[in-house]
Amino acid sequence: MKTPGAPKEKRFKTIREAYSITKSVKPWIGAALAAIFVVVWASAILIGAFAGRPVYSAFIGALVAVLVSLFFFTRVAGNAAYQSIEGQIGAGASVLMAIRKGWTTTPAVAVTRNQEMVHRCVGRPGIVLVGEGGPGARGLLVDERRKTERFAPGVPITEFIVGDYEGQVALRDLQKKMRKLPKKLSTSQMREVRNRLKAVGGLSMPIPKGPMPKGVKIPKR
C-alpha cells in the first residue's frame, strides 16, 4: 500500500537526481538559479514599492521567481542529461527507452565487436531501426532491416543513425524525430508486429544510468 507522501518523495528524488547530474555537467547551475531568483524577486519588490504595495509584490514575486528558476532549470537539466551520456555505449537506447508512450524498444538487436549496434522500436509508425556507435552501424542497419523484413513483411521500416555528421540524427533530437513519424499502423496491427518480433529479442547490454529527458522536461527513467 502506498503512503500519502510517496508520490511527493518520488518527485523530490527525481529533482535531486536531475540537479546532481546537471551540476556534474554544469557546475554553475546553483549560482545561476540563485541569481535568477534574486533578480526576479528584487524586481517584483521594486515594482511593488513604486506601486505602493511592496508586501503583496514580494509575495507574488517570490512565487514568480520560483517558477522562472524552475523553468530555467528544466531547460538546462534536459541539455545536461544528454551531455552526461553522449559518447557512452548504449546512449541511443537509453534515450529511446525513455519514450514511454506508444513505443516498445528492444536495445541492441545487433552488435559488432567495435560496439556498433542497432536498436529496434515498434510503434504506430511501424518499425524504427536506430544505429549508433561508429561507421559500421550503416552496414549493420542494412543486415537488420533484411532480417526484420522476414519476420514482419510489409511493415513500414524507418532507419536512423545517431551521430553528429550530415544525414545522422543528434542524440538530443532522437525523441523528437520519433514522435514526428506519421502513424501507419492501427493499434491491433502494432500489437501483432510486436508479438511477431518478440521472439527475435535482443542482446544484453549496458544502458547509461541516470535521468533521461522526455522532450525538454525534467528527466525521468
pLDDT tens for residues 104-148? 999 988 888 888 899 999 999 999 999 998 888 889 999 999 999
The string of DSSP codes covering 126-183 is EEEEEEESSTTHHHHHHHHHHHHHHHSTT--EEEEEBSSSTTSB-GGGHHHHHHHSPP
Domain annotation covers residue 206: no
> Given pLDDT bands bounded at 50, 70 and 90, which one contains residue 213?
very low
* Number of structural domains in the chain: 2
Q: Is 218 inside a domain boundary? A: no
CA distance 221 to 213: 8
Same domain flag for 70 and 103 = no
Q: pLDDT averaged over the chain?
A: 82
Q: Do residue 78 and residue 108 come from a single domain?
A: no
Whether 73 and 34 share a structural domain: yes
Tell me the pLDDT tens digit for each residue of 30-88: 999 999 999 999 999 999 888 888 888 889 999 999 999 999 988 888 777 777 777 77
0.75 exceeded by the pTM?
no
Do 27 and 58 lie in one domain? The reply is yes
Integer-rounded Cα radius of gyration of the chain: 22
- For residue 81, give the nearest of 21, 8, 37, 17 by alpha carbon: 21
The verdict on 182 and 99 lying in the same domain is: yes
* Domain enclosing residue 190, as ranges: 91-198
Whether 211 maps to a domain, the answer reads no
> What pLDDT sits at residue 124?
94
Task: Quote the CA–CA distance of 36 and 49 in Å, as a whole number.
Answer: 20
On whether both 110 and 164 belong to a single domain, the answer is: yes
Residues 20 and 42 in one domain: yes
